[in-house]
Amino acid sequence: MTALQHVKLGTYYVVHLPEADDFDFWRERARALVQCDVPPDRIAWVEPGGSGDLFAHGERRMPVPPMDAKPVRANRRFVSLARNAILHSDPERFALLYRLLWRLQSNPRMMEDKADLDVRRVEELDKNVRRDSHKMHAFVRFRLVESEDEEVGEHYVAWFEPEHHILRANAGFFMRRFSNMRWSILTPRGSLHWDTQTMSEGPPAERHDAPGGDPMEDLWRTYYASIFNPARLKIGAMLKEMPKKYWKNMPEAALIPDLIAGAQGREAKMVEKGALEFEERPDTLAAIDKAIHGCRKCPIGQLNNHAVMGEGPQNAALMIVGEQPGDQEDQTGRPFVGPAGQLLDAHLEKVGIDRRAAYVTNAVKHFKYVQRGKRRLHQNPGAKEIDTCRWWIESERAIVKPKLVLAMGASAARGMLGKTVSISRVRGAPIPLEDGSELWVTAHPSYLLRLDGPAREEQARLFDADLAAVRARLEELV
């Protein structure tokens, strides 16, 4: 039977999805249906628990695409929106995605049409899902549960009510962030359990399955009170970001009215002091690593990002300092692995500096960005943010004790010196540091990446010359 005949005979295909968030399954079925020329209005997509019986009379087995079927077109934008939109709780999402995929075959530029209703709808679904994930990252609160079984030890349980099917998609985030904790996240859509080694899934839960209060809550309250910055208090924005709906699950929410009431006085005090207080300086790299992950001393640390610790031998003679992690560094947790890192590696190799022997780090530990659609665009850190983060770079330097520090770019130089210097003025010569080591300043590799033609060649030459001078000086010092 040809596809046309299918339509004429009123053939209906019913696709039962095994999971509400199974993009790969949907994609595989959708591709086959497109290749068999089955139009969108001939398919019913049924998610688990959905009303498949309604269509039972018209159900047909999945058609098999002909051997010479044309490949299915789907551009990157479609795939990335679809992956997220499929997590939405709108039962129409599968049909919407199929309609888009179907239409993409004859109009490959369709995704660029901002006025198209289907495109607008999928963008909206994507946005809602991202917002829901963001809320989950911000508002999941674990509570300690005492286990009778000594072997199990401490177990933390959180209750969360996502609006969409985002639980599985966010498992990795919580696994990375709380990798050493045994935890469960219970939701009405399912549950996740992490035992510090493996992740498992469980059935939907109810509110009373999760504990309601414990000593951890005091810790949260203390923590929240300590990071609460009265100078940044904007009640409207706060309610928008932290809707009251989530307050009941958040121990620190009980503090909010008092904190708001006391905000003016605390702000005045902060201004008076003129400085942020830090706790005792950590004395191992591991302790710094742990501490920076909890650091919320500036607004960058409060974005949806991860701290990135320096890496390299603890006794490295050379410390290389960049500005801040970029998108790829934030995702991988390692400094200088993205495009700027690759360019840096190439230049280091060219002048004979072994990156593996150096301690590579950043002046600012978190990635500062603005979200533009799917992309996170780099933002320069401000002077105050760099100065706040100096605590960490100084702590690293106190442990590694490098003989020579190479600061790349103006932010890195400020992170080392506490003041702004002009790179062109200070590059190429050592600046003595108070502990007897030397600071050398050069341009940031991202600066080279932004240039092309002769300007790039000229800057690359200067960069190589600075690196070569560092290498020569290191040989003298070591």
What residues contact 279, with CB distance under 8 A and at least 6 apart?
Answer: none
* CB nearer ligand URA, residue 253 or residue 343: 343
Taking the complex as a whole, the smallest distance from the CB of residue 366 to ligand URA amounts, in Å, to 11
Binding segment for ligand URA (CB under 6 A), chosen from 139-147, 174-182, 217-225, 331-339, is 331-339
Instruction: List binders of ligand URA among 409-468 (CB under 6 A).
Output: 446
Does position 340 interact with ligand URA (CB under 6 A)? The reply is yes
Question: Of the ranges 76-84, 156-164, 253-261, 316-324, which one interacts with ligand URA (CB under 6 A)?
Answer: 316-324
Instruction: By CB under 6 A, tell whether 310 contacts ligand URA.
Output: no
| Contacting range for ligand URA; rule: CB under 6 A; set: 108-116, 226-234, 295-303, 334-342 | 334-342
Closer of 191 and 324 to ligand URA (Cβ): 324
Site string for ligand URA, 229-268 (x = CB under 6 A): ----------------------------------------
Q: From the CB of 99, what's the least distance to ligand URA, in Å?
A: 41
Furthest-apart CA pair in the chain: how many Å? 86
Which one among 190, 211, 282, 326 touches ligand URA, defined by CB under 6 A? 326
Kindly state whether residue 324 participates in binding ligand URA, applying the rule CB under 6 A. yes
**Residue nearest to ligand URA according to CB distances in the complex:** 322
**Cα separation of 323 and 409, whole Å?**
7
Residue with Cβ nearer ligand URA (289 or 323)? 323
Closer to ligand URA by Cβ: residue 89 or 380:
380
SS3 assignment, position 168:
helix
Can you read off the two tokens belonging to residue 276? 């942020």
Other CB atoms closer than 10 Å to residue 380's CB: what's the count? 14
The nearer residue to ligand URA, 162 or 335, going by C-beta atoms, is: 335
CB nearer ligand URA, residue 85 or residue 308 = 308
H or E, element range at 320: strand 318-322
Q: Rule CB under 6 A: which of 19-48 touch ligand URA? A: none
Applying CB under 6 A, the span of 85-93, 102-110, 258-266, 325-333 interacting with ligand URA comes to 325-333
Among residues 312, 338, 381, 415, the one that binds ligand URA under rule CB under 6 A: 338
Residues in the chain: 478
Tracing tokens 């949806």 back to the chain, one arrives at: 304
* Closer residue to ligand URA in complex, CB, 170/395: 395
For residue 238, the tally of other CB atoms under 10 A from its CB is 13
Please answer whether residues 133 and 127 qualify as being in contact, where contact means their C-beta atoms are separated by less than 8 angstroms: no
Is residue 8 within 8 A of residue 42, CB to CB? The reply is: no
Alpha carbon separation from 252 to 136, 140, 242, 317, 423 (Å, rounded): 16, 12, 12, 45, 45
Q: How far is the CB of 412 from ligand URA (least distance, A)?
A: 7
The number of residues that bind ligand URA (CB under 6 A) is 13
At closest approach, how far in Å is the CB of 166 from ligand URA? Answer: 29
Locus of tokens 């400020």: 414
| Amino acid present at 335 | P
Cα separation, 159 vs 55, whole angstroms: 36
Q: What single string gives the DSSP state of each residue in 65-115?
A: PPTTPPPPP--HHHHHHHHHHTTSS-TTHHHHHHHHHHHHTT-TTGGG-TT
Alpha-carbon torsion 333, 335, 339, 342, what sign? Answer: negative
- Of 190, 341, 381, 402, the residue at the interface with ligand URA (CB under 6 A) is 341
Q: Which of these ranges, 36-44, 95-103, 115-123, 332-340, lies near ligand URA under the rule CB under 6 A?
A: 332-340
Residues 193-212, interacting with ligand URA (CB under 6 A): none
Residue 329 interacts with ligand URA (CB under 6 A): yes or no: yes
322 forms part of the interface with ligand URA (CB under 6 A): yes
Q: How does DSSP assign 216-282, residue by residue?
A: HHHHHHHHHHHH--GGG--HHHHHHHS-HHHHTT-GGGGGHHHHHHHHHHHHHHHHHH-S----PPP
Helix (H, G, I), strand (E, B) or coil at 298: coil
Number of helices (H), then strands (E), belonging to the chain: the values are 18, 14
**By rule CB under 6 A, what string of x and - marks binding of each residue 347-366 to ligand URA?**
---------------x----
User: Which residue reads 């590059």 in tokens?
Assistant: 427
Q: Is residue 336 part of the contact set for ligand URA (CB under 6 A)?
A: yes
What is the nearest approach in angstroms of ligand URA to the Cβ of residue 210?
Answer: 38
Report the distance separating Cα 281 and Cα 288, nearest Å. 8
Region from 29-37, 81-89, 241-249, 323-331 binding ligand URA, contact rule CB under 6 A: 323-331
Cα distance between residue 335 and residue 324, in whole Å: 8
Interface segment toward ligand URA; rule CB under 6 A; list 27-35, 58-66, 258-266, 329-337:
329-337
Q: How far is CA 61 from CA 87, 93, 306, in A?
A: 26, 22, 47
Cβ 361 to ligand URA, closest distance in Å? 8
Q: Which residues bind ligand URA (CB under 6 A)?
A: 322-326, 329, 335-336, 338, 340-341, 362, 446
